[in-house]
Chain A
Amino acid sequence: AQSVTQLGSHVSVSEGALVLLRCNYSSSVPPYLFWYVQYPNQGLQLLLKYTTGATLVKGINGFEAEFKKSETSFHLTKPSAHMSDAAEYFCAVSDSGGNTPLVFGKGTRLSVIA
């Protein structure tokens, strides 16, 4: 079985500060890992994904994440927060064959303070 733990249900940063959202996963098989963003009253938008290859993955809106197998982590970072980054962020895992559905964490709400 697969699972995702997102540390911190709410993270608050100042505009221009580093954003770090933590995600740890559990998987008995090589995982595919994803970060999604959800703005109020909207669906999910894919920020970035790790499948195979390079462990540092770059996504949209300046976000990136690094897959660390030894730490079973896939933390999301952005060097400089913008007001428009305020949203709910979800980490998700599936197996590398795509034979299992996405398993999501509980989400982290990011607030950006001016």
Chain B
Amino acid sequence: DAGVTQSPTHLIKTRGQHVTLRCSPISGHKSVSWYQQVLGQGPQFIFQYYEKEERGRGNFPDRFSARQFPNYSSELNVNALLLGDSALYLCASSPGPGVEQFFGPGTRLTVL
């Protein structure tokens, strides 16, 4: 069975640009969460979506937004990129909230 997939694998942007990261959950999973992992740190929660509704949001500025589509895939958007947005962005899916999350391989974003 296919696991969580994320695209692209790597991305290089310049300050001020906009980026869209994509995530496809495991088949049958209806919940998707996004995490940011800065080099040398643990992942930090950004968003959780369940059944296309936002269930939770971490302590991130409004430049970060996300959505979940009818097929349960998800996009994370970041506007006005800053150097500090350089990180590994992880997507995790689960059948629902409160159930074990399965992580994708991540998208490595570099902001120059």
Give the interface of A toward B (CB within 8 A).
Answer: 4, 36, 41-46, 49, 90, 92, 94, 97-107
- Secondary structure dominating the interface of B: loop
B16 at the interface (CB under 8 A from A): no
Given contacts A101-B45, A106-B42, A107-B42, A44 and B98 within 8 Å (CB-CB): no
Chain B residues within an 8 Å CB radius of A46:
100, 102
Known: A43-B90, A46-B100, A49-B100. A102 touches B45 (CB 8 A): yes
Closest Cβ–Cβ distance, residue B66 to chain A (whole Å): 13
Residues of chain B lying within 8 A (CB to CB) of residue A44: 43, 90, 92, 103
| Residue count of chain B within 8 Å CB distance of chain A | 25
Q: Is the CB of B103 within 8 A of A43?
A: yes
Chain B residues near A (Cβ < 8 Å):
4, 33, 35, 40-45, 48, 56, 58, 90, 92, 97-106, 108
Task: For the A-B complex with A42-B105, A107-B41 known, give 8 more contacts whose Cβ atoms are closer than 8 Å.
Answer: A41-B105, A43-B4, A99-B98, A102-B43, A102-B101, A104-B43, A104-B44, A105-B42
A104 to chain B: which residues have CB within 8 Å? 42-44
| B60: min CB distance to chain A, Å | 12
Interface centre among A41, A102, A107 (most CB of B within 10 A): A102
CB distance from A111 to the nearest CB of B (A): 15
